[in-house]
Amino acid sequence: MTDAETTSRTGKRVLLAKPRGYCAGVDRAVQTVEEALRLYGAPIYVRKQIVHNKHVVQTLEAKGAIFVEENEEVPEGATVIFSAHGVAPEVYEQARTRSLKAIDATCPLVTKVHQEARRFAAEDYDILLIGHEGHEEVVGTAGEAPAHIQLVDGPDGVDKVTVRDPNKVVWLSQTTLSVDETLETVARLKQRLPLLQSPPSDDICYATSNRQHVVKEIAPDCDVVIVVGSRNSSNSVRLVEVALDAGARAGHLVDFAHEIDDAWLEDARTVGVTSGASVPDELVQQVLAHLAERGFADVEEITTANERLTFSLPQELKRDLKAAAARG
C-alpha cells in the first residue's frame, strides 16, 4: 500500500519541519570534542554541556569526554573545551591560572554578541541584555561587561529597567530566544526609552529564527506538534511555545521517541515534528518510525529555508591538527 493510500485510509499524516536539528554552531562544537578526543586522546574535559542535548552528551561521554561544571574540577595542565554557549572572561583567566589547555567552542554567533557587549561598554552605554536569567549564554555575555549590562527577562522585565542616560542605551539578546517575544520586549522597552538603540545586526541566530518560522507554517494544521529536544535547551523549549502560539492544538517536548505518550495521538490526524538546534537527526528519524508504527506513515516535509552555513573549527584545535598532520 502506498503512503497516499495509507493516508486516505487512516487520515493520518506527519508534517516534518525543515530546517530542523543541528545548526552550524552545534555541529562545530560537537565536532570539536570528537576531533580533540581523536587528537589528544581521552579524557578530554568539557566545561558545562557542550550543547544542551542529553543524547549528544551521553554519546560524547561514552567516547571519553568528561563534563564538569567549573575549571576547578579539571586536573592542572589538562585540556578543557568551553561549550558552544560561551563563557565570561574570568573563565579564561581561571583556565590560565590552572595551566589548562583551553579550546573555545563558543558559537561564532554568540561571540558576535560578546564583541558587541564589549564595544558598547567601551563607549559607556547601558546595555539591556534580553534573555533568560541563569542561562549559560546570558552568564557569559553579561560577564563581558558586568558594570554596564542588566538583564531583561522578557516583556515582564521591562518595568524594572533603570538607566543612567536614556540617550545612551542599547539592547542585545540571547541568540536562542523566541523572535516574537523578543520583538515584544523591544517594543515595550522603546515605549519607555524612545532613543533605545538596536544591535548592528540581529542577535537571535539564523537557525533559531528559521526553526521558529517553519513551525509557525505547520502549526495551524497540526493537532499536536512534537519537538525533539532537551528541557535545558532554550531554543527547543521556545519551539513548543511558538507551535502553541501559532495554532497547534497541543505541543510536547521529548528527548527520545519512547517518551511520546500514545494519549497525545488519540484523535490526532496531523502531527507536526521538528527538533531543536542541538538535536542529531537520528533522534527525529526514531520519532518518525515510532509514529509510523501508530499509523502516521505519510510524511510531508515542509521547507521554508535551506541552510548552508558552516563554521571552521577553533583556531587552537586547527593549529594542532595541522601540526599532527605535518608529523604524519
Binding residues for dimethylallyl diphosphate: 52, 85, 135, 233-235, 278
Cell of 95: 583556565
Residue positions annotated with a catalytic role: 137
> Cα-Cα-Cα-Cα dihedral of 221, 224, 225, 226, to 10°?
-150
In the annotated binding site for [4Fe-4S] cluster, the residues are: 23, 107, 205
Residue 327 Rama label (left phi>0; alpha psi -120 to 50; beta): alpha
Please report where in the chains the cell 541563569 appears, as a residue. Answer: 134
What is the distance between the alpha carbons of residues 105 and 72, in angstroms, rounded to a whole number? 19
Q: How far is CA 155 from CA 130, 158, 180, 251, in A?
A: 9, 6, 11, 23
> Cα-Cα-Cα-Cα dihedral of 140, 96, 70, 103, to 10°?
70
Cell of 34: 570528537
What is the distance between the alpha carbons of residues 178 and 185, in angstroms, rounded to a whole number? 10
Contacts 24+ apart (CB under 8 A), 256-261: 256/55, 256/283, 256/286, 257/283, 257/286, 257/287, 257/289, 257/290, 258/290, 260/226, 260/287, 260/290, 260/291
In the annotated binding site, the residues are: 23, 52, 85, 107, 135, 175, 205, 233-235, 278
Question: What are φ and ψ of residue 314, in 5° steps?
Answer: -55, 145
Report the SS3 class of residue 98: coil
**Parallel, antiparallel or unpaired: strands 270-275 and 13-18:** parallel
**DSSP secondary-structure letter at 85?**
T
